[in-house]
Amino acid sequence: MKRIYLLGLLPFIGILGGIPFANRVTPYILGMPFILFWIVMWVVLTSGIMAVVYKLDPANKEEEVQ
């Protein structure tokens, strides 16, 4: 198990672990109730996190060489 793979756990912690604290309407951010903003923010972060994992993952480099 490579250490960068642990990054993939962050969104789980953020969405599942964070929701009890984020379950509120105010403050509105980008026009959305806070709970919705919280989830959307994590979806966007997930994309970024997976891009980082992809870049650093040696499995993808090996294939490129082939």
Partner 1 sequence: MNVALIIIFGFLVLSLYLGIRAKKGKDMNLEQWTVGGRGFGALFVFLLMAGEIYTTFTFLGGSGWAYGKGGPAFYIIAYGCLALIMSYWLLPLIWKYAKEHNLMSQSDFFVSKYKSPYLGVLVSLVGVLALIPYLVLQLKGLGLIVSTASYGSISSTLAIWIGAISVTAYVMISGIHGSAWTAVIKDIMILVVVVILGMYLPFHYYGGIQPMFEAVDAAKPGFLTLPEQGMSVSWFISTVLLTALGFYMWPQNFGAVYSAKNERVFRKNAIVMPLYSLILLFVLFVGFTAVLQVSGLKGPAVDESLLRLSIQTFDPWFVGVIGAAGLLTAIVPGSMILMTAATLMAKNVYQVFVPSASDRRISNLAKVLVPILAVVSVYFTLQGGNTIVTLLLMGYSLVTQLFPSLLLSLMKNNFVTKEGAFAGITSGVLTVAYITVTETTIGTLFPALPPAVKDLNVGIVALFVNITVMTVTSLVSRRTSKVKEEQPAA
Measure the CA–CA gap between 32 and 39, rounded to whole angstroms. Answer: 11
Q: Is 57 in the site for partner 1 (CB under 8 A)?
A: yes
* 3-class SS of residue 29: strand
Please say whether the beta carbons of 18 and 10 come within 8 A. no
39 binds partner 1 (CB under 8 A): yes
In sequence order, what are the beta bridge partners of 32?
Answer: 29
**What's the min distance (Å) between Cβ of 51 and partner 1?**
5
Residues that bind partner 1 (CB under 8 A): 5, 8, 11-12, 15-16, 19-20, 23-25, 28, 31-33, 35-36, 39-40, 42-44, 46-47, 50-51, 53-54, 57, 59-60, 63
